[in-house]
Structure 1
């Protein structure tokens, strides 16, 4: 590793991730919480949930970008790949693989059935999104059959408000998103 530190530099991570993603198309790398994370290809139900949300948001808010890389964790130089990002149209024009989160309205994550999903999707990523000041974070938790809406980010402590609804219910995504989400159809894609 470059330098005198044992910690991986974000620039080194970006080179490793870019090389690996060119060579192995079924994985993507993240760097969050000071650790490299590996995201394997998602299952069909996971992809279908993302596409259901894309379709819904295209009607109400046509700015959803599936799998847009974001820079988070200012102190550690984190890099994450949310399942979806809501931002104003044209916001990411001219950006490379990793974009600053300024101007992002919401992030979306859907839990996976892997050993690291609790730590990654329920703990580390919501904290990183709040630290980055992203106003709303939506988590579809397939293990717990629920939808969690995180809002009112506090860079020091995470999101101040977390609202949970069981799958099948309706939930309002607060401003600046400002839409109601009916999760009834999502129940068929949680296995």
Structure 2
């Protein structure tokens, strides 16, 4: 669900987010408030699958689940990433909505209804590109595929590659390995 016809300030969003029940995620992306169900167990398994592979190739990094990131989309935005890959200790001392400049990769997994997936496919993709996060990995459970976007420039990712669940997906630098998506199905 998103609210598209109401003007809301960042302070109003933060009050709304604080008052939201634990079973809902509230985000502020592209000038709109998005409310989605909290992550299910399958999200956690996807995070484990991706984290294990990333850490085996890049032990200097960690996948931080449910990390709030301050993104510059439209007006000041707030996106809660399913997984933010960053150097170990990067988020120490940062507020709940953190600076994304040290995050080289963000992972999102679609959930809920098909309409909610649009937020991950488009709104978050664009917000992360505007924040200049080098790589955006989308696990699209509705389409049974993984999509990687990379090389942000002028608020858009310049490259994209897709793989059906079960196939390998080549991740670009700074990762440069083939992600095995077999366990994502």
Do Structure 1 and Structure 2 share a fold, with TM-score over 0.5? yes
Structure 1 residues 141-160: Cα deviation after superposition (integer angstroms, max 9, x where no partner): 1111111010011233x111
Residue pairs, 1:121-136, within 5 angstroms: 121-136=120-135
Aligned to 1:119: 118
How many residue pairs match? The answer is 178
Partner SS for 1:90: coil
CA-atom RMSD in angstroms:
1.6
Distance of 1:131 and 1:168 partners within structure 2: 30
Shift, 1:74, TM fit: 5.0
Give structure 1 regions of 4+ aligned residues with deviation exceeding 4 angstroms: none
Deviations 1:77-126 (A, max 9, x none): 11001110011111111111101111110000111132432320111110
Structure 2 unaligned blocks of 5 or more: 1-5
**1:185 aligns to what?**
183
Offset at 1:13?
A: 0.8
Which residue is equivalent to 1:3? none
Map residues 7-156 of structure 1 onto 2, 5 A cutoff.
Answer: 7-20=7-20, 24-61=21-58, 62-73=61-72, 75-156=74-155
Q: Which residue of 1 aligns with 2:3?
A: none
Shift of 1:58: 3.2
Residue 82 of structure 1 aligns to a residue whose secondary structure is strand
TM-score normalised according to structure 2 size? 0.89
Could you tell me how far 1:46 is from its partner in structure 2? 2.5
Partners of 2:159 and 2:178 lie apart in 1 by: 17
More strand by share: 2
